[in-house]
Structure formats: structure tokens, C-alpha cells
């Protein structure tokens, strides 16, 4: 489904909400056990800056994740995300609740995810993206595949692409 630049520009120009999966999108998908603390992941400061820049540009940034860890909760809080859902078994259901809450339509939303469980949501939004490590089945269905790896700038690349081509109303 990957599209030409003009089509992508048109899609991102309508965005008012950008949603991210966390594990394998904002992280590289690895988890680490820290004694007396639990499981944790690593996050890129650069990806965080991309998210902050989207927020500064007036986009609402949210996260819907199938996982749930203290480190993810703390990272999303540190980024100032108001709409975050952890442990989601049905990401589309949480997305539909977000649409109602924010009073937006699906074509004004983007989503970046990396796994086959993300496909229903990736297909529901106006702009979809994935990191390059996503399975072929996912990469073939999204509008944009980042060149930078997940957890190492993929989200920042998507944010910069959106900012570069978004038309502010």
C-alpha cells in the first residue's frame, strides 16, 4: 500500500491526531529485567523530541499499546500524552473511543505500529506508518515505512515527515 509522495502529503495534511504503539515502535522491542524493579525498555530521546514537536505544532499525540509496563507508563507521562491506553486487546475499540472523545474522524488520525495485531488499526486511520523491522505483512499495508529503526529514530522520522508536509489550518 505504500504510496507516492503526493498522496502521502495529502494524507498527512489532514492529520490532527497521531497515535503510537509503544513496544517495537517507540522501543526496539527488546525488554530488560532489572532486579527489584521488573521489566523495562529503552526509549530514544530523539523519538520523544519528535513527539514533542508534533504537540507543539498542535497535534494531539496518543498511545495505544497491548503491553503495560511501568517504564512505558512513565515515558508516556514524561512526554505529556493525555490519551494513553495500556494492555489493549482491541486497539480499534480504544481508537473508536478516542475518536468520540476528541470529536475527530478516522481520516484525521495517524497510527504507527509494528505488528500484525496492529493491522486493523493501521487500516482504519487516514495515515499509517511502521518501522522497517515490522513483518512484511504489516509493511505492505501501511502508507509509510520508516528507514530508521524502531527505538532509534523511526518515530522521529515519521514525526518529521508529518511536520514537513502538514498544512496547518
What are the tens digits of pLDDT across the range 123-165? 999 999 999 999 999 999 999 999 999 999 999 999 999 999 9
pLDDT band at 169 (very low <50, low <70, confident <90, very high): very low
C-alpha grid cell for residue 125? 486511520
pLDDT band at 75 (very low <50, low <70, confident <90, very high): very high
Instruction: Output the pLDDT for position 167.
Output: 63
- Considering only CA atoms, which of 67, 37, 140, 158 is closest in space to residue 76? 67
Residue 136 labeled ligand binder: no
Residue 114 labeled ligand binder: yes
- Tell me the three-class secondary structure of the chain, residue by residue: CCCCHHHHHHHHHCCCEEEECCCCCCCCCCCEEECCCEEECCCCHHHHHHHHHHHHCCCEEEEECCCCCHHHHHHHHHCCCCEEECCCCCHHHHHHHHHHHHCCCHHHEEEECCCHHHHHHHHHCCEEEECCCCCHHHHCCCCEECCCCCCCCHHHHHHHHHHHHCCCC
Instruction: Output the pLDDT for position 37.
Output: 81
Domains by residue range for the chain, with CATH: 5-165 (3.40.50.1000)
**Mean pLDDT to the nearest integer, 83-94:** 94
Instruction: Output the pLDDT for position 69.
Output: 85
pTM here is 0.94
Q: Residue 154 and residue 21: Cα distance in Å, rounded?
A: 12
Residue-averaged pLDDT of the chain: 93
Q: Residue 133 and residue 142: Cα distance in Å, rounded?
A: 13
Instruction: Output the pLDDT for position 120.
Output: 97
Residue 68 labeled ligand binder: no
C-alpha grid cell for residue 124? 482504519
pLDDT band at 166 (very low <50, low <70, confident <90, very high): confident
Instruction: Output the pLDDT for position 1.
Output: 55
Amino acid at each position: 500500500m505504500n504510496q507516492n509522495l503526493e498522496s502521502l502529503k495529502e494524507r498527512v495534511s489532514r492529520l490532527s491526531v497521531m497515535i503510537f504503539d509503544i513496544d517495537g515502535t517507540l522501543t526496539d522491542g527488546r525488554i530488560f529485567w532489572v532486579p527489584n524493579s521488573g521489566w523495562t525498555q529503552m526509549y530514544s530521546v530523539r523519538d520523544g523530541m519528535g513527539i514533542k514537536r508534533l504537540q507543539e505544532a498542535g497535534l494531539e499525540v496518543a498511545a495505544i499499546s497491548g503491553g503495560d509496563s511501568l517504564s512505558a507508563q512513565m515515558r508516556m507521562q514524561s512526554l505529556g500524552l493525555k490519551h494513553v491506553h495500556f494492555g489493549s486487546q482491541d486497539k480499534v475499540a480504544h481508537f473508536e473511543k478516542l475518536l468520540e472523545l476528541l470529536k475527530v474522524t478516522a481520516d484525521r488520525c495517524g497510527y504507527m505500529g509494528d505488528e500484525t495485531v496492529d493491522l486493523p488499526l493501521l487500516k482504519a486511520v487516514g495515515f499509517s506508518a511502521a518501522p522497517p523491522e515490522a513483518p512484511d505483512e504489516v509493511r505492505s499495508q501501511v502508507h509509510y515505512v520508516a528507514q530508521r529503526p524502531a527505538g532509534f529514530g523511526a518515530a522521529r522520522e515519521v514525526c518529521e515527515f508529518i511536520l514537513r508536509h502538514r498544512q496547518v489550518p
